[in-house]
Amino acid sequence: MPVIPAPQSGTVWTALVKNGEAHVTDPLAVKVVIYIHEPKGGPERARPTINGTPIRGGGGPYEIVAQPGYNVAPITIKTRAGNNDVVIVEEF
């Protein structure tokens, strides 16, 4: 029988600070906050993405909160340029 890991507790911070980085949030998180600090301008193709959608820096934070008794579906965050600066906060 497979061992099911115990859920994390507290808060997990992840930073993505350069080109080509990616992070998928934990499906056990009950709240996810994404801060996109840079770039605030520039071409859309160079902006970081949240689930494939390019996001401009400085417009957040982007906060996803699960309904009571549920978890936040996994979210994929990717960087696409050297000036991308993203912080992801997952709460359990």
Range of the domain at 49: 11-91
In a domain, 65, yes or no: yes
Mean pLDDT of 3-28: 84
In a domain, 37, yes or no: yes
Beta carbons within 8 Å of 53's beta carbon, 6+ residues apart? none
In a domain, 87, yes or no: yes
Residue 26 Cα to chain centre, angstroms: 10
Give the count of domains, the chain: 1
Give the SS3 label for residue 46. helix
In a domain, 4, yes or no: no
Q: What is the pLDDT of residues 47-92, one digit of tens each?
A: 999 999 999 998 889 999 998 888 999 999 999 999 999 999 999 9
In a domain, 2, yes or no: no
Outline where DSSP puts E strands in the chain. 11-16, 22-24, 31-38, 49-50, 53-54, 62-65, 76-78, 85-91
In a domain, 57, yes or no: yes
